[in-house]
């Protein structure tokens, strides 16, 4: 198996993106495109096979492919996304994912964004946020428990997604902003707190032993490096104006040549 990263080019209409927790700031589209290309190069340099999909001009947020699906070794779950304007993204992405995984679909009244789903081994945390409701959590849980995943809800506040508030660093450790996430739901993990001056710094992307993170959080980077993590910082400043992080711009999973595992018998 090898790691595959699905990405999508920046939409020319990204300036019309959904914004929920920060003031709208004009986005330089050309700069956003260049930053995204550098991000893809970073993934390739980390030995990922990058599959870059074409831009969707009518879908401003479509560069954020992580929200439009949740992929496991066994299945890919296509959600009913929390923002109505974004729901076509999931249906379009499913056309690509069907070549890699068996698909299953969440149904109303469930809403779920992939940015609210955090994996730490066989434990899956699902953020209850403005984009993901309890029905979304319950439907995802029902699908995944058949494959022996432990799926747990986490209350999210003051930010867009669970992964805006915390990320898994490996070795039973989470990088977290405790003001944005219910820390009790993460019991059993060591919580590494982001600096108070960088509340949005908790979104990092773990690839093998490398952490990819935004260049705009130098104190968080220093904190991680002091603790022995290998860090690569990338400039995603224009994408951050759309409430983006480094996880949401790619959908990363094992490229399995054989058929995916089957669910356990009941």
Q: Which residues are part of the catalytic machinery?
A: 161, 248
Reference 70, options 123, 144, 160, 1; nearest CA is: 144
Do the beta carbons of residue 90 and residue 83 sit within 8 Å? no
Reference 149, options 106, 114, 118, 115; nearest CA is: 118
Looking at the chain, the number of H-run helices and the number of E-run strands are 6, 15
Do the beta carbons of residue 147 and residue 194 sit within 8 Å? no
Residues of the chain by 3-state class (helix, strand, coil), percent to 5 = 30, 25, 45
Cβ-based burial of 31 (10 A; exposed 0-12, middle 13-18, buried ≥19) = middle
Round to whole Å and give the CA distance between 84 and 90.
Answer: 11
Q: Enter the DSSP assignment of 264.
A: P
Round to whole Å and give the CA distance between 222 and 213.
Answer: 12
Do the beta carbons of residue 187 and residue 167 sit within 8 Å? no
């Amino acid at each position: 198996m090898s790691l595959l990263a699905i990405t999508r080019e920046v939409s020319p209409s990204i300036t019309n993106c959904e914004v929920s927790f920060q003031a709208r700031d004009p986005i330089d589209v050309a700069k956003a495109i260049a930053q995204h290309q550098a991000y893809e190069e970073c993934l390739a340099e980390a030995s990922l096979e990058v599959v870059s999909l074409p831009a969707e001009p009518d879908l401003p947020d479509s560069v954020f492919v992580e929200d439009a699906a949740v992929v496991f070794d066994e299945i890919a779950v296509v959600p009913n996304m929390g923002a109505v304007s974004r729901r076509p993204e999931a249906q379009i992405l499913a056309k690509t994912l069907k070549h890699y995984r068996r698909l299953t679909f969440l149904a109303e009244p469930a809403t779920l964004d992939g940015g609210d789903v955090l994996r730490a081994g066989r434990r899956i945390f699902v953020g209850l946020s403005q984009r993901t409701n309890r029905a979304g959590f319950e439907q995802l849980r029902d699908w995944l428990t058949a494959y022996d995943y432990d799926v747990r809800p986490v209350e999210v506040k003051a930010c867009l997604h669970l992964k805006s508030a915390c990320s898994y660093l490996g070795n039973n450790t989470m990088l977290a902003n405790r003001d944005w996430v219910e820390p009790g739901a993460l019991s059993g993990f060591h919580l590494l707190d982001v600096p108070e001056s960088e509340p949005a710094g908790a979104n990092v992307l773990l690839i093998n032993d490398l952490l990819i993170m935004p260049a705009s959080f130098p104190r968080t980077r220093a904190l991680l490096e002091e603790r022995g993590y290998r860090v690569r910082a990338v400039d995603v400043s224009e994408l951050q104006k759309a409430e983006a992080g480094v996880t949401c711009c790619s959908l990363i999973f094992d490229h399995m040549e054989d058929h995916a595992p089957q669910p356990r018998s009941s």
